């Protein structure tokens, strides 16, 4: 961490930074590094994950990840549970923290729904956008780091883990559709920065820090948030 550029936020409002990617992309690894870096630089940091992060959200996470449901969850049910968890987190944790100047880092957010429930499960994007608009309005991250890598590489990284959850039991094709949907969405959203997640951890960290620094460049649309 020596020699790291100082991430300065001139505004009293905090920044909302989210990490996205398919399984084993390295989100949890990177988010822990970024949280520590920002804390060492004197920022107050709130580390969250989706689905989850609140009492209700963690219970919803349990339902969503359980491989033991005797009746399959409909894609629509899955989508609404994701947004139920998300809106609870955004309104009770994220927005109040941003208003206090806290740097909020979240492992997955909205883009996951477009990738998994849209690309993976095949729900129409208009349905997802309508749910999003209804509960979150215009709220969105200041920066999303999408760790992109071939799904086989991510799967190989996590292959030694024990019992699989409901998502991890999906086939390769599902995750390929998820990856494609992520990249398609990223191409249309200027706050999403795609990082090659197949690089070494050190290279991934450098690219992520550069993206954070770019939030504060004078010509950046989000400068001075
Ligand atoms: N989901 C959804 O469908 N819709 C939604 O709206 C939301 C979520 C919000 C949550 O799973 C599931 O919910 C998720 C999508 C769905 N399911 N899937 N798949 P989760 O939170 O339990 O799991 P995850 O988000 O997929 O996390 P993960 O599998 O642990 O991946 P990761 O956090 O990106 O990876 P990691 O733990 O940082 O790294 C994995 C391993 O690779 C680990 O051993 C590291 O040491 C190693 N690693 C990390 N970086 C590198 C590099 N650069 N090189 C080599 N090795 C590395």
DSSP conformational letter for 120 = I
| Rg of the Cα atoms in the chain | 17
Among 19, 20, 22, 27, residue to substitute to test ligand 1 (most atoms within 8 Å of Cβ): 27
Question: What is the per-residue pLDDT across 156-175, written as a single tens digit (0 to 9) for each?
Answer: 999 988 899 999 999 999 99
Give the Cα separation of 190 and 64 in Å (integer): 30
Q: Is 43 in the pocket of ligand 1 (CB under 6 A)?
A: no
pLDDT in tens, the chain (225 residues): 545 667 767 678 899 999 999 999 999 999 999 999 999 999 999 999 999 999 999 999 999 999 999 999 999 999 999 999 999 999 999 999 999 999 999 999 999 999 999 999 999 999 999 999 999 999 999 999 999 999 999 999 999 888 999 999 999 999 999 999 999 999 999 999 999 999 999 999 999 999 999 886 544 433 332
What pTM, to 2 d.p., does this model score? 0.93
CB 175 within 8 A of CB 24: no
Give every CB contact of residue 153 below 8 A, 6+ residues apart in sequence: 24, 197, 198
Residues 6+ apart with CB under 8 A from 206: none
């Amino acid at each position: 961490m020596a020699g790291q550029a100082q991430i300065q936020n001139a505004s009293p409002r905090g920044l909302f930074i989210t990490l996205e990617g398919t399984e084993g992309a390295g989100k949890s690894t990177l988010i822990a590094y970024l949280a520590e870096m920002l804390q060492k630089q004197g920022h107050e940091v709130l580390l969250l994950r989706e689905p989850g992060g609140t009492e209700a959200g963690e219970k919803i996470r349990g339902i969503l990840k359980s491989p033991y449901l005797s009746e399959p969850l409909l894609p629509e049910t899955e989508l609404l549970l994701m947004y139920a968890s998300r809106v609870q987190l955004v309104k009770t944790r994220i927005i109040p923290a941003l208003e206090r100047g806290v740097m909020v880092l979240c492992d997955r957010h909205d883009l996951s729904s477009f990738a998994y429930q849209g690309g993976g499960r095949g729900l129409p994007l208009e349905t997802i956008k309508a749910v999003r608009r209804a509960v979150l309005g215009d709220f969105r991250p200041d920066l999303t780091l999408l760790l992109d890598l071939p799904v086989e590489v991510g799967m190989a990284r996590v292959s030694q883990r024990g019992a699989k959850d409901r998502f991890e039991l999906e086939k390769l094709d599902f995750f390929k559709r998820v990856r494609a949907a992520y990249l398609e969405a990223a191409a249309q959203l200027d706050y999403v920065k795609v990082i090659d997640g197949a690089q070494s951890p050190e290279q991934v960290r450098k690219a992520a820090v550069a993206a954070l620094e770019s939030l504060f460049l004078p010509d950046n649309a989000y400068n001075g948030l």
